[in-house]
Amino acid sequence: MKTKRSTTGPRRGKSARQRTVGFIGGGNMATALIRGLVAAGLYGADEIEVSDVDAAKRSALKRRLKVAVTGDNLAVARQARVIFLAVKPQIIDQVLTGLREAASPRQLFISIAAGVPTARLERLLGPEARVVRVMPNTPALLGQGMSVIVRGTRATAADERLAVKLFGAVGRAVAVQAESLIDGVTGLSGSGPAYVYLFAEALMAGGVAAGLTAALARELTYQTLLGATAMLQETGESPEALRAQVTSPGGTTLAGLTELRSRGFKDTVMAAVVAATRRSMELGRG
């Protein structure tokens, strides 16, 4: 895959001491991103370095992904042009304070720390830092993620385009202009996979309660969710229209939907999104 050269974009031929991309934190999302970037041809494994406090994790990353690893965040920040901040929001202040002396206008910092606003990132990294904030979700582990991107006050339109390209390597990625939307994104797509998994648990349990074997209930649930999602994506019909198509008067689907409505299913899901959004806002305030 060919890419346009830029001061922050993909490069080739970097020496072991001149990494183009750095990751502060080597958890699941960082691992997914590294795999996606390399698979898409955007960067080579030899252009990536990961810093993590966990020696066992560093060893695993080096062995599985063939990237350079270190326990020194500052060393990564001093070398890389694009730096992914892939640490928990609870420790982001400490991490950024340690990186501040290395931050310069030549670098782009991309944060996936949930709930942490760009203003806070910029304040902790210093007056020259260019920052982009991203809210991805865990299906990125399979290249099926949904990422929403917003740039900070000093990041450029080119930085935004680069972030969209990079996260496009692990699924779909879109940019928004209003950072206030990111908390809602977190509540819906960031936390949303967990709601779907809970729904899958309930479907399987219901199947077993109706007399199915656990194995059959699982197979039916997974394919039903997959097929329903495909219908939503490929037909162009709204969820309401598709629901109406399978709901006959006096039929089985109507009986099930009536039970869900009587127990406040839709309101409960909406409340879950709002609660997760609220928590994202709380994390953003530190």
pLDDT tens by residue, 119-133 = 999 999 998 899 999
pLDDT band at 282 (very low <50, low <70, confident <90, very high): confident
Q: What is the mean pLDDT of the chain?
A: 92
CA–CA distance from 67 to each of 47, 75, 126, 149 (Å)? 8, 15, 28, 26
d(Cα 102, Cα 258) in Å, to the nearest integer? 59
Q: What is the mean pLDDT of residues 198-203?
A: 98
Q: What percent of the chain has pLDDT over 70?
A: 93
Answer whether residue 232 is part of any domain.
yes
Q: Are residues 117 and 174 in the same domain?
A: yes
d(Cα 37, Cα 21) in Å, to the nearest integer? 10
0.75 exceeded by pTM: yes
Q: Are residues 152 and 264 in the same domain?
A: no
Closest by CA position to 42, among listed 85, 84, 2: 2
Q: Are residues 214 and 254 in the same domain?
A: yes
pLDDT band at 285 (very low <50, low <70, confident <90, very high): confident
C-beta separation of 242 from 231 below 8 A? yes
In the numeric block, the tokens 């229209």 are attached to 241
φ and ψ of 70, to 5 deg: -160, 165
Residue 155, CA atoms < 13 Å, CB-side half-sphere: 27
What's the pLDDT score for residue 2? 36
Q: Both tokens of residue 141?
A: 């582990």
What's the pLDDT score for residue 18? 53
Contact residues for 133 (Cβ-Cβ < 8 A; gap 6+): 110, 111, 116, 117, 118, 121, 149, 150, 151, 152, 179, 182
C-beta separation of 259 from 245 below 8 A? no
φ and ψ of 156, to 5 deg: -100, 170
Q: Are residues 60 and 166 in the same domain?
A: yes
Handedness of CA 231, 190, 147, 180 (dihedral sign): positive
Q: Are residues 96 and 150 in the same domain?
A: yes
C-beta separation of 194 from 276 below 8 A? no
Q: Are residues 88 and 161 in the same domain?
A: yes
What range defines the domain where residue 196 resides? 192-284
d(Cα 167, Cα 174) in Å, to the nearest integer? 9
What's the pLDDT score for residue 286? 65
pLDDT band at 281 (very low <50, low <70, confident <90, very high): confident
Which of 147, 179, 211 is the last residue before a domain boundary?
Answer: 179
Closest by CA position to 85, among listed 42, 130, 133, 40: 133
pLDDT at 172 over 80: yes
pLDDT at 13 over 50: no
Widest distance between CA atoms in the chain:
70
The amino acid sitting at 83 is: I
Q: What is the mean pLDDT of residues 138-163?
A: 96
Which of 179, 214, 229 is the last residue before a domain boundary?
Answer: 179
Q: What is the mean pLDDT of residues 3-31?
A: 65
pLDDT at 84 over 50: yes
pLDDT band at 114 (very low <50, low <70, confident <90, very high): confident
Answer whether residue 14 is part of any domain.
no
Question: How many folded domains does the chain comprise?
Answer: 2
| CATH at 213 | 1.10.3730.10
pLDDT band at 15 (very low <50, low <70, confident <90, very high): very low
CA 270 to chain CA centroid, nearest Å? 21
